[in-house]
Structure 1
Amino acid sequence: MMKSTKHGLWLLALLPALLHADVYQWTDQQGRHHYADHGNENAKVLNIDPGVAFFRVEKVFDGDTILLSDGQKVRFLGINTPEVAGRNKSAEVGGEQAKAWLKDKLEHRKVFLQGDVEKQDKYQRTLAYVFTEDKEQINVELVKRGLATVNIYPPNLKYLEPLLAAQHIAELAKLGIWADEAYAPLAAELLDENNYQGWKRITGHIRAVKRTAKHSYLQFSDTVSISVEPMSVDLFPPLETYVGKDVEVRGWVKRSKQRFAVQVRHPADIVLR
């Protein structure tokens, strides 16, 4: 097996054919790198991740959407960051901070992607968990810093646990949005047409379960409820177990005349108080 740096690079190009064997790397006294299928006392086994493709980040649109060098527009899975100002949308508190952090972290640097069950969203954006060259997962890092909230869309559940753990850390430490008055919990009885827009934390006492042909509802009152998405209802415990409990629900509110419903897709969207 060739051991020089030049031939070592050639060896690395053939790694997919050599995955049955370890590949060793070491540096000699002249600083030259050597590669072989056997080692010496100074050699270390290379940690090879077969099939990983790296892409250069050309542009950061906001805190959870980027453009790659191959033209892919990537939407980060499992999270949501506040909006930045754009066409037909207003800026939300924390949006520019999330974008600035992501831009400093990734713009013009290389990343690799991991997908989940769904590969694209309705806007034809690639859905992915985004990693740096040193395997730092950016989705989790955004949440851990309080720049993003966990936003679960079943069936994409691959990194649910680390994302929720990161959010717990940020919330306890009151980082980012968890310290901002704009995202403070709002009592269900105070929800109205003037304050329902955007991502919300709504608190209250669950009084009843209501079911229709399409949806199931946990009712704070006759006018404010939690709407459980039909495709996700099997992920939840029996909805009757929420009755009589004080909860905080996190998500977006849908308004229909003078009725308001917070839409949820996963039990993690509802926190017992």
Structure 2
Amino acid sequence: MMKSTKHCLWLLAILPALLSAEVYQWTDQQGRRHYADHGNENAKVVSIDPGVAYYRVEKVFDGDTISLSDGQKVRFLGINTPEVAGRNKSAEAGGEQAKAWLKNKLEHRKVFLQGDLEKQDKYQRTLAYVFTEDKEHINLELVKRGLATVNIYPPNLKYLEPLLAAQRSAEQAKLGIWADEAYAPLAVELLDENNYQGWKRLTGRIRAVKNTAKHSYLQFSDAVSISVEPISAGLFPPLETYVGKDVEVRGWVKRSKQRFTTQVRHPADIVLR
């Protein structure tokens, strides 16, 4: 028992140096186990996993939500895919395509997760960036293929820059939703109670800034505006710099009587035109 313990302690001591190289293990004639960064004819390469936990994907709910073998329900961080049909929701263009791609990629396969500053959402789902066994970043792949849009929720900003770069490339190449008429830019003058639902790309000129106790607003008009929450305001340049600029705002529109507001959480939600 003492010898076994000593070997384990020795392995732990050299582990940091070995993680970047192959590790060999063999057993000598006395039954003692040896480890080194080089081997002999009886040695075999062993895999040392530095703390990564793998989970089997049991079910794909839609393009950005899965369940794992340990019961976790995981919501992908940093992205959003169109809705698939459900009990209280209608299918959106591109939703089934995103789900089908993710199902083919992950269902009944192993993944590992990386978190960010927030660990769960209000539905108690685990928030994560999802990777395959060969380290393919699935959140990023969905955006690259135009199956998902970047959906920023500060303070979860770990992969913000690569996600935004992937989105710019997909948009320029007109992949997925970027070629779908359902997500074509809509002039704010044409927004009404019949076409405001779902994720939108609204275009227009910012006319003024309005501040209230709870929010700041970039106003296209008295009826259509962009809402910036105080918790996110520090990420933005002075809002007055948007006045007089033609922009495209991306997000979900809320309606209150005949007023429409798109809430943004990061400057990337507003694209200068």
Aligned residues: 256
Q: Are the counterparts in 1 of residues 22 and 37 from structure 2 also a CA contact under 8 Å? A: yes
The 1-side partners of 2:182 and 2:16 are apart by: 54
The 1-side partners of 2:70 and 2:76 are apart by: 17
Q: Are the counterparts in 2 of residues 16 and 50 from structure 1 also a CA contact under 8 Å? A: no
- Percent identity between matched residues is 83
SS at match of 1:251: strand
**Structure 1 residue 158, shift from structure 2 partner:** 0.3
TM-score (norm 2): 0.88
**Structure 1 residue 169, shift from structure 2 partner:** 0.7
Query: Per the alignment, do residues 149 and 209 of structure 1 end up closer, same or farther by CA in structure 2, a change over 3 Å counting?
Result: same
Moved over 6 A (4+): 41-47
Q: In the TM superposition, what are the counterparts of 1:101-112 in structure 2 within 5 Å?
A: 101-112=101-112
Query: Per the alignment, do residues 200 and 16 of structure 1 end up closer, same or farther by CA in structure 2, a change over 3 Å counting?
Result: farther
Amino acid at match of 1:24: E
Q: How big is each residue's C-alpha offset from its partner over 1:120-170, in whole Å with a ceiling of 9 and x where there is no partner?
A: 000000000000000000000000000000000000000000100110110
Q: How big is each residue's C-alpha offset from its partner over 1:20-64, in whole Å with a ceiling of 9 and x where there is no partner?
A: 33153479xxxxxxx832226999998855111000000000000
**Structure 1 residue 230, shift from structure 2 partner:** 1.9
SS at match of 1:235: coil
SS at match of 2:163: helix
The equivalent residue for 2:193 is: 193
Amino acid at match of 1:224: V
The equivalent residue for 1:156 is: 156
TM-score (norm 1): 0.88
**Structure 1 residue 18, shift from structure 2 partner:** 4.3
- Stretches of structure 2 lacking an aligned partner (at least 5 in a row): 1-6, 26-33
The 1-side partners of 2:170 and 2:44 are apart by: 37
Q: Are the counterparts in 2 of residues 24 and 44 from structure 1 also a CA contact under 8 Å? A: no
Q: In the TM superposition, what are the counterparts of 1:78-227 in structure 2 within 5 Å?
A: 78-227=78-227
Q: Are the counterparts in 1 of residues 209 and 216 from structure 2 also a CA contact under 8 Å? A: yes
CA RMSD of aligned residues (A): 2.5
The equivalent residue for 2:270 is: 270
Query: Per the alignment, do residues 245 and 15 of structure 1 end up closer, same or farther by CA in structure 2, a change over 3 Å counting?
Result: farther
1:62 and 2:65 matched: no
The 2-side partners of 1:99 and 1:73 are apart by: 15
Structure with the greater alpha carbon radius of gyration: 2
Amino acid at match of 2:243: V
Q: How big is each residue's C-alpha offset from its partner over 1:199-237, in whole Å with a ceiling of 9 and x where there is no partner?
A: 000000001000011000000001000011221011000
